[in-house]
A and B are shown apart, each in its own frame.
Chain A
Amino acid sequence: MANPAPIRQQYGKRPWTFYVLAAFFALFVAFLYGPMSAIYVLSFQGPTGGLTFPMRGTSLHWFDALFSQQRTGDFAGAFTRSIILALIVLALTVVMSVLAGMAFRRRFPGSTFVFYLAVASLIMPGILIGLGVGLTFQLFDVPTGWYTSALGAQLTWTLPFGLLIMFAVLSRFNRAYEEAGRDLGASHWQIFWLVVVPILLPGIIGVALFGFTLSYDEFPRTLLTAGAQNTLPMEIWGMTTNVTSPALYALGTVTTLVSFIVIALSLGSIAIIQRRRARKPVEDEPRSDSGQK
């Protein structure tokens, strides 16, 4: 049967389905953000308040409690460690993903194997990797630690993401830029640093963003490989099982804040770069070019 209105009109009235879907979408967003906002609100719970509503006054009491180590665990320590580890993971992920992405531009024997290896690593349940890395280290009698086993385990999660992003970015990359660089006398290194990297910068920032946040939030792999000292998610996990105060929520608010800052910085810089480079060109005038004398 004929449909009176097309699915997508550029102008004019929107079909009724738009409003239904928009409402659904709004509900979905509420679903996503709603519960978290409960946490943010509860973190300002008064000193006598409990884990759930109702609120008993408002205060910064629990944020304060967070920073004093005794009762609530070593939050500050875990926080610092998590950030440092995330930064290291970020750096390594960027370098390795960019290099590997460049490698995949040509076909080479074994490229399919590496590709599937990365994809398998991506969908492997974290706990399996954690178990495996832990056991491997035990087998070879090497103690697990932050910058060895935990780092490695987290990389198995961030590297495939980085690789996939590089694939997407490089497939849209016009090779003419590299040829132009070569035509103008640049060496391979110069082309890489002066042409390829600057043009791909938004994508590289994306890889960095993934590298940092995936590490910072990572839990299952790290749990079994971090050794004696906790990351932040591990700290939180510990708290869920034995802490009964809104300090947990205060922690949630703080970590989220950090995440938001990182996201805002990354996405903001990407947006700035894109906007500068893709501004709408001035229309050519039929009569005379504006550059003529």
Chain B
Amino acid sequence: MKLSPTLTSYLQVAPMLLVLLLFFGVPLLVVIAFSFFDFDGINTVPAFVWTNYAELFASKVTLSLYLKTIYYALMVWAITLVVGFTVAYFLVFHVRSILWQMALFLLCTVPFWTSNIIRMISWIPFLGRNGIFNQALMGVGITDEPLEFLLFSDFAVIIAYVHLFTLFMIVPIFNSMARIDRSIIEAAVDAGSSRLRIIWDIIVPLSKTGIALGSIFVITLVMGDFFVVKVMSGSHSASVALAMSNQIAMVQYPPAAASAVVLLIIVGLMVAAILRIVDVRKELAG
């Protein structure tokens, strides 16, 4: 039985498509639907009302939550970009043997395969009042008292994010950089270009796609996070997702759904903005 190529493709892609529609597409629509349901604090009634959104936008907390979360996202994005770019640059352009490149690259990726939660928690004994870092500082004599701000603060939250998500910057940028034709760089060197100029004029533009991909990953991960911010700030701070998870825990589904939709739109806008600057379709589609 010979099938047409198109039909074969449809059959082959069907399982994945089905799963994605059932567990992504449909739930998304359901969330959107729920965001319009009527909720009086206890009961949820299917309807089409804007009250959930109204309450969301009326509340002052909403704005401050978003500002805080976006602040986290931008800070983390900036730091992971610098760190990720530098690490990728080092691996691609300064490590000579392919074997070492691979080995060091793996070294960076291995932590990714272990649980995020454990990695996040591991900062607590490290940064705490009696933690290793403080003890080291005091031991060396830089401070007399343990630094309080290290843990359960914005600082801790951002450090944890950077720890968890830098890899998402490194991998795409590494990929983009590795594809750069070396003879272009050699030609620039022959023409007398300085290293800095080469980085700025050649390497950065040619790694655009990797930077864009990494940025998309990091920003969506931070914007959607609720557990890192809770633990590392010692519940002092909050994020949009955290507020949402609280609402879910209290079975306040329609408001949570409205929150979710707004979050989705904001994140969507941020991603779209990045995609307008850099077209990543070519890179992803292979």
Which residues from 125 to 147 on chain B have a C-beta closer than 8 Å to any C-beta of chain A? 125-126, 128-132, 135
Question: Given A127-B241, A131-B31, A252 and B118 touching (CB < 8 A)?
Answer: yes
Which residues from 240 to 261 on chain A have a C-beta closer than 8 Å to any C-beta of chain B? 240, 248, 251-252, 255-256, 259-260
Docked pose: A33 CA to B284 CA in angstroms = 30
A152 at the interface (CB under 8 A from B): yes
Chain A residues in 8 Å Cβ range of B116: 217, 219, 233
Most chain A C-beta atoms within 10 Å of own C-beta, residue among B121, B131, B245, B284: B121
A44 at the interface (CB under 8 A from B): no
**Interchain CB contact under 8 A, A53 and B15:** no
Q: What 1/0 mask marks residues of chain B from 20 to 51 whose CB sits below 8 Å from any chain A CB?
A: 11111111101100100000000000000000
Question: Of the 9-residue stretches A18-26, A57-65, A68-76, A175-183, which lies at the interface with chain B?
Answer: A18-26
B16 at the interface (CB under 8 A from A): yes
Chain B residues in 8 Å Cβ range of A109: 6
**Interchain CB contact under 8 A, B16 and A99:** yes
A117 at the interface (CB under 8 A from B): yes
Chain B residues in 8 Å Cβ range of A52: 124-125, 128-131
Chain B residues in 8 Å Cβ range of A96: 15-16, 19
**Distance (whole angstroms) from the CB of A92 to the closest CB of chain B:** 8
Most chain B C-beta atoms within 10 Å of own C-beta, residue among A2, A35, A124, A224: A35
**Chain B, Cβ-Cβ closest to A166:** B286
| Interface bin, chain B | 35 or more
Most chain A C-beta atoms within 10 Å of own C-beta, residue among B27, B113, B117: B27
Chain A residues in 8 Å Cβ range of B129: 52
Question: Given A125-B223, A132-B27, A256-B114, A6 and B15 touching (CB < 8 A)?
Answer: no
Chain B residues in 8 Å Cβ range of A277: none
**Interchain CB contact under 8 A, B118 and A255:** yes
**Interchain CB contact under 8 A, A39 and B13:** no
Chain A residues in 8 Å Cβ range of B163: 31-32, 35
**Chain A, Cβ-Cβ closest to B135:** A53
**Interchain CB contact under 8 A, B286 and A39:** no
Docked pose: A118 CA to B195 CA in angstroms = 39
Docked pose: A6 CA to B285 CA in angstroms = 34
Which residue in B15, B96, B198, B285 is a CB contact (below 8 Å) of A115?
B285
**Interchain CB contact under 8 A, B111 and A33:** yes
**Interchain CB contact under 8 A, B227 and A219:** yes
Chain B residues in 8 Å Cβ range of A262: 113
Chain A residues in 8 Å Cβ range of B15: 95-96, 99-100
Docked pose: A175 CA to B29 CA in angstroms = 40
Chain B residues in 8 Å Cβ range of A256: 114-115, 118
**Distance (whole angstroms) from the CB of B211 to the closest CB of chain A:** 16
Docked pose: A249 CA to B129 CA in angstroms = 18
**Interchain CB contact under 8 A, B114 and A259:** yes
Which residue in B22, B94, B220 is a CB contact (below 8 Å) of A152?
B22
**Interchain CB contact under 8 A, A51 and B124:** yes
**Distance (whole angstroms) from the CB of A133 to the closest CB of chain B:** 5
**Interchain CB contact under 8 A, A131 and B125:** no
Chain B residues in 8 Å Cβ range of A25: 87, 90-91, 104
Chain B residues in 8 Å Cβ range of A292: none
Chain B residues in 8 Å Cβ range of A1: 192, 194
**Interchain CB contact under 8 A, B16 and A100:** yes
Chain A residues in 8 Å Cβ range of B28: 124, 128, 132
**Interchain CB contact under 8 A, B286 and A167:** yes
Which residues from 93 to 123 on chain A have a C-beta closer than 8 Å to any C-beta of chain B? 95-97, 99-100, 102-104, 106, 108-109, 111, 114-115, 117-121, 123
Question: Given A42-B125, A217-B115, A237 and B227 touching (CB < 8 A)?
Answer: yes
Which residues from 1 to 27 on chain A have a C-beta closer than 8 Å to any C-beta of chain B? 1-3, 6-8, 10, 14-15, 17-18, 21-22, 24-25
Which residue in A6, A106, A267 is a CB contact (below 8 Å) of B189?
A6
Counting from the closest, the 9 A-B pairs by CB-CB distance are: A125-B224, A132-B27, A103-B12, A152-B23, A103-B13, A35-B122, A252-B118, A171-B286, A103-B9
**7 additional contacts, CB 8 Å, given A53-B131, A114-B16, A233-B117?**
A3-B195, A7-B189, A99-B16, A128-B224, A132-B24, A255-B114, A255-B118
12 A/B residue pairs, CB under 8 Å, sorted by A: A1-B192, A2-B192, A8-B94, A36-B118, A52-B129, A114-B20, A132-B28, A156-B24, A159-B19, A256-B118, A259-B113, A260-B114
B residues neighboring A (CB under 8 Å):
5-6, 8-13, 15-17, 19-28, 30-31, 34, 83, 86-87, 89-91, 93-94, 96, 104, 106-108, 110-111, 113-119, 121-126, 128-132, 135, 163, 166, 182, 185-186, 189, 192-195, 198, 216-217, 220-221, 223-227, 231, 241, 244-245, 248, 253, 256-257, 260, 263-264, 267, 271, 284-286
